[in-house]
Chains A and B, each alone.
Chain A
Amino acid sequence: MTVILSLQLAIAGISVGSIYALVALAIVIPFKASGVLNFGQGEIVTLGAYAALILTQLALPYPVVLASVLLVGAVGGIAIERVLIRPIVKAPEFTLVIATFAIGLLIKGVLALRFGDSPAALDGPFGSAPLLIGGLRFNPTAVWIFACTLLVTFSVIAFFRHTRLGKAMRAVSISPEAARLMGIKVETVYRWSWAISTAIGALAGLLVAPLIGINPEIGQLILRGLLAAVIGGFTSIPGALVGGLAVGLIETFSGVIVGSTFKNLVPFLLLMLLLVFRPQGLFGAADIQRV
C-alpha cells in the first residue's frame, strides 16, 4: 500500500467516520442524561435526510435547509420524548430498548410508505468536483462533513461545560434525585437532551445524503454509531468523536486488508470483542454492572 493510497483511504475513512461520530454523539447525549439508549436514532438520521430532500426540492437555500432540518430533528425528539418515552422512563430496560427500536421502525415504516424504496439523490452544498491538495483528492462534501462534526462535537463539549442547561444535564446524569432536590427540573433536562440528540441525528442525515443517497435503509448507520459509542465508552463526548473516526478508518482499511468478504463482519466482531473484554470502552468511564 503506497503512502498516497493510505492517505486517500484515511480521508475516506475520516469522512464516513465523521457521520458515525455524529450518530454516536446523538446516542450518547440522552444516554448520559437519562440512561435511555435510543435504538431508533438511525431512523432520525433517515428522517433528517428526507426532510433535507423535501426542503431542497422547494428550492430553499442551503442555510435555510440546514436550520430547518435541525428544527425538524429537535421537534421530533421533543415529541418522541414527551409522548412515548416519558411514560416508560422508569420501566425495565427491556421495555425501553424495545420501545425505542419500535419508534425507529415506525418512522422507517411511514417513510417507506410515503417515499417508497426507490433511492433519491441530494447534492452537497459545494458540488462534487474534488479539491486537489498536495496530490490528494478531497471530496468537498467530505470536508464539509468533517468540519460540521468537529464544530458540533466542540459545541456540545462547551455546552456541557459552560451553560446552565449543560451543567444541569451533567448533574441529572450523576443523580436525578439530588439534581431535583437542587431545583433542577429533571423533565426539562430529559426533553432538551432528546431535542439536542435528535437535532444532531437529523443533521447527520442531511450531511450523509450526498455521500450515500437517500433511502429508507439509511438508519442502518446506527450499528456503526453504536460501535463508535461503545469504543468511546458510551458516556464520553470526545470518546464518541474518536470512536466514530476509528470505526470509519477500521472499515475503510479492513476492506483493503482482509478483503471485501470479511470487511462488513469486522465492525461487528469488534463490537462483540469490546463488549466481552472491555465494555467500558477504550475511554473507560462508564460503570458497567456485571452480574
Chain B
Amino acid sequence: MNVGARLSGILLVAALAIFGALVGTYPTYLVSLAMINVIAALGLNLLTGNSGQISLCHSSFIAIGAYGATLLTARYGVPFWIAIPLAAAISALVGAALGAPASRLKGIYLALATLGFLQIVQLAIEEFADITGGVRGMKVPRPELVRGVRVTEYAIFLIVLGVCAIAVWTAGNILRSRVGRELNAVRLSPHAAQALGISVARVKLAAFALSAAYAGVAGGLLSIVVGFIDPVEFGISASLRQITFIVVGGLGSVAGSVIGATVLSALPEVLRPVKEYNDIIYTMILLGFLLFVPRGLITIWTGLLRMFPRAPVAAVTEARAK
C-alpha cells in the first residue's frame, strides 16, 4: 500500500468516527451495517475472487458467527469482545472442515456442496429451536464490557469501524503476501500452481477457513449491532447478496469488496420509495453486471487511470514502493 492510500484510509476512518459522533443513531446503524457487509464481502472475495472457488454458503458462516457469539454471551456470560473472536474461530474451523472435502470439488459440484451446507445450517437453526430460538429468532443481550458495564451505541459503532479498518488492511496485506499470490495462482491455473510446489488442496482449504473467519467476525458484529438474529437473514438470498457485492465491486480486489458492499448497502435506502421492487432491482443489477461489466465497478477506476497515463518515472517509483 503506498503512502497516499494509507493516508486516505486513515483520514476516512477518522472522518467516519467524527461522522458517527455527530449524526443520530439511525445513520450510524446504517453505516455499521455497510461496514459489516464490507467485512463479509472481503472474506468471500478472497475465496471466490482470488482462489476461484464458488461458495453459496457464505451467509452460513455469518450465521455461525452471529449465533456463536450470541450463544456464548447469552448462555455462558462470555463478554462480547471475547465471544466474537471465539465465534469467528469456530466459524473458521467449520470453514476448514467444509473446505477439506470441498477443495476436491470444483465448479457446479462445489456450488452444490456449498448449497447443501447452507441448507444444513439453516435447517439446524430452525430445528434445534430450544437452543437457537428456531424460526422465531433470538434476542441478543446488550453488549457489556464486563458484567454490568454496558457499551454505548457509539462505542459499538467505533468497534465496528475499527474492526472493518483492520479487516480491509489485513485483506490487502494477505493479497500482497505469499498466501495471496498462492490464492491467485490456484485460481489461474491449479496445475501450474501444483507444478510450482504450491499445495493446491492446502491453499483452497486455507481460503475456505479465511473467508469463514471474516464471515464469522461479520456475523458476530451483526448480532450486537442489530440486537436480534433469525434464520431468514442467513438463507440463500443473503448468500447471493454477498456475491452481488463482490461481482458489482470487482472480483479478486479488496477495493472491489469495499466499493461493492458500500454502494449496494446504500441501495435499499435510495430505493425506499419503490421498496417492493427491491429484490427485483437487486437481481437485475447482479445479472447486468455479470453480462455487461463482469469485472465490476473497479474497472471504471482502472479505466480512468488508463485514460490519464502517469509519467513513466512516477509509475516506476510506485512499482518499487510496492
Are B115 and A223 in contact, CB atoms less than 8 angstroms apart? yes
Are B279 and A98 in contact, CB atoms less than 8 angstroms apart? no
Interface digits, B39-73 against A, CB 8 Å rule (1 contact, 0 not)? Answer: 00000000010001010100000000000000000
Are B109 and A279 in contact, CB atoms less than 8 angstroms apart? yes
| Cα distance, A230 to B110, chains bound together (Å) | 12
| Cα distance, A103 to B56, chains bound together (Å) | 16
CB closest chain-B residue, reference A276: B101
- The distance from the CB of B249 to the nearest CB of chain A, in whole angstroms, is 14
CB closest chain-A residue, reference B118: A268
Are B106 and A289 in contact, CB atoms less than 8 angstroms apart? yes
Q: A105-B279, A261-B127 are in contact. Are A271 and B291 (CB under 8 A)?
A: no
Which of B30-38, B149-157, B280-288, B305-313 lines the interface with chain A?
Answer: B280-288
Q: Give the one of B48, B113, B276, B290 with max A CB within 10 A.
A: B290
Residues of B with C-beta under 8 A to A279: 105, 109
- The distance from the CB of A155 to the nearest CB of chain B, in whole angstroms, is 26
Residues of B with C-beta under 8 A to A91: 290, 294
From B52, B107, B276, A113 is in contact (CB under 8 Å) with: B276
Residues of B with C-beta under 8 A to A261: 127-128
Are A102 and B119 in contact, CB atoms less than 8 angstroms apart? no
Q: A268-B116, A291-B190 are in contact. Are A93 and B105 (CB under 8 A)?
A: no
From B107, B112, B276, B286, A271 is in contact (CB under 8 Å) with: B112
CB closest chain-B residue, reference A93: B107
Residues of A with C-beta under 8 A to B294: 91, 95
Are B109 and A102 in contact, CB atoms less than 8 angstroms apart? no
Answer whether residue A136 sits at the interface, using C-beta atoms and an 8 A cutoff. Answer: no
Are A101 and B120 in contact, CB atoms less than 8 angstroms apart? no
Are A93 and B54 in contact, CB atoms less than 8 angstroms apart? yes
| Cα distance, A138 to B166, chains bound together (Å) | 63
Are B240 and A113 in contact, CB atoms less than 8 angstroms apart? no
CB closest chain-A residue, reference B113: A275
Answer whether residue A182 sits at the interface, using C-beta atoms and an 8 A cutoff. Answer: no
- The distance from the CB of A99 to the nearest CB of chain B, in whole angstroms, is 5
List residues 204-225 of chain A with CB under 8 A from any CB of chain B: 223
| Cα distance, A262 to B105, chains bound together (Å) | 26
Residues of B with C-beta under 8 A to A272: 101, 113, 116-117, 120
- Between-chain CB contacts (< 8 Å), 13 pairs: A37-B111, A87-B291, A93-B106, A105-B279, A113-B280, A226-B112, A265-B123, A265-B127, A275-B101, A275-B112, A279-B109, A288-B105, A291-B190
A residues adjacent to B (C-beta < 8 A): 37, 39, 84, 87-88, 91, 93-95, 97-99, 101-103, 105-106, 109-110, 112-113, 223, 226, 230, 261-262, 264-265, 268-269, 271-272, 275-276, 279, 288-291
